[in-house]
Structure formats: C-alpha cells, structure tokens
C-alpha cells in the first residue's frame, strides 16, 4: 500500500509508452505550474566518483545516459544488473554521446577505494561510466527521481531491498525509457531505445 503512488506512476508510464511509436515518450509524472505541464526531470546533482572526482549534472551535459543503483557487496540482483550495464558500456564504448552513472546505496561500506576496486574489476572507467557515492539520504532521494525503490531491510541479503531499474535519461535530463536490469530481454529493448534517442538528436 505504501508504494501505491509508484504503481500509479508506472501505470501512467506504461500507458504513455504505448501511445507513441517513433519517438520515445517522456516518462514520469509532470508537475503543473500556472496551468503548464512541466515534465519530470532529474534535479541538479553533485556526487563523488570512484576516482575521487566531483561528478555533477554538468559532467553529463549534452549527453544521454543510463543510470542505476547498486552496492558492491549486494549478493542478489546487483551482479545481474551490473552485467547488463556492462553490455551497454561495451556497445557504446566508442560513442562519446552515451554515458553511464551508477549510484551506491551503501556509502558507508562503498568508500571511494571500494568503488575504485569494483570499477577496476568490472574493467570500466570514467569519464564514460562513473560509480558515485554521496550522502545516503540524498542518493535515496535521487533513486526516486530515477523511479527506483529503496527500502532498508535487515531481512534482505546485504540489508537493503531495492529495485534494479536501468533508466535512460535524455539531454534535457528527462526519463525516456527504462528496463528491469535483471531481465536481459528488456535490456535488449533498452539498447534499441538508446539508438532511437541518439537518432532523435541526429536529426
């Protein structure tokens, strides 16, 4: 019951997703200011990446990017989601217009050194892909911006229950598509959506 608003949001998202074929829809619940609809947008952000560099929305200016939430010691869905993020990284390795952004949900254990080791083991690096940390509450707030759910749960393996959505963000920081990172078939579609979005900017 607590997550009812999110279900409604997802329902809206799915409905909107069905109405357009050519260009990707703009997802999320818009806010209405003075009778005008303002689409859902990712707020300004400032985090620290695995190399200790400050990463802000400016670092992603004029780029499209995919974002997700994880933690390095997560034994359940994270490795699966990460393997799908690696697929995206590999496909667009030579395309500077596409970037990736992974937020840790466990800043206490995921120090910059821990994130660096994880990035090295994934054989990935900035500036294309930043693994970022920051204030725990701030990151959880951004998880909502990116339509991910995070719940502290001591019963869950690793102590945190969270969704594994990979979300596609356009150059105006609007959500244009998403996939369950645990489902390679959905990520196949997301890869097509990334191409579609690139095409949109190429025209």
Q: Are 196 and 23 in contact (CB under 8 A)?
A: yes
Is residue 113 within the footprint of other proteins (CB under 8 A)?
Answer: no
Alpha carbon distances (Å) from 198 to 77, 98, 104, 189: 28, 9, 27, 14
# residues contacting other proteins (CB under 8 A): 13
Mask: binding to other proteins, 72-91, rule CB under 8 A, as x and -? ---xxx-xx-xx--x-----
Alpha carbon distances (Å) from 62 to 8, 58, 59, 80, 203: 31, 9, 9, 29, 15
Query: Cβ closer to other proteins: 79 or 141?
Result: 79
Query: Cβ closer to other proteins: 58 or 120?
Result: 120
Residues whose CB is less than 8 angstroms from the CB of residue 107 and which lie 6 or more positions away in sequence, other chains included: 133, 134, 135, 136, 139
Is residue 48 within the footprint of other proteins (CB under 8 A)?
Answer: no
Smallest separation (angstroms) from other proteins to the CB of 77: 7
- What is the binding site for other proteins (CB under 8 A)? 75-77, 79-80, 82-83, 86, 118, 120-123
């Amino acid at each position: 019951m607590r997550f009812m608003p999110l279900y409604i949001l997802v329902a809206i998202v799915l409905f909107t997703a069905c109405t357009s074929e050519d260009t990707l829809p703009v997802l999320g619940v818009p806010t209405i200011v003075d009778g005008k609809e303002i689409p859902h947008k990712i707020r300004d952000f400032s985090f620290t990446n695995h190399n200790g560099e400050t990463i802000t929305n400016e670092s992603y200016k004029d780029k499209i990017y995919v974002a997700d939430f994880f933690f390095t010691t997560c034994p359940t869905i994270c490795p699966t989601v990460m393997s799908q993020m690696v697929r995206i990284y590999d496909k667009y390795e030579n395309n500077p217009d596409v970037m990736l952004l992974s937020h840790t949900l466990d800043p206490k254990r995921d120090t910059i050194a821990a994130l660096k080791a994880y990035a090295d083991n994934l054989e990935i690096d900035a500036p294309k892909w930043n693994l970022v940390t920051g204030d725990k509450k701030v990151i959880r707030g951004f998880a909502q911006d990116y339509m991910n759910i995070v719940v502290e749960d001591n019963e869950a393996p690793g102590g945190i229950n969270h969704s594994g959505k990979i979300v596609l963000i356009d150059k105006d920081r609007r959500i244009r598509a998403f996939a369950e990172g645990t489902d390679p078939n959905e990520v196949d579609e997301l890869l097509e959506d990334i191409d579609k979005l690139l095409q949109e900017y190429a025209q």
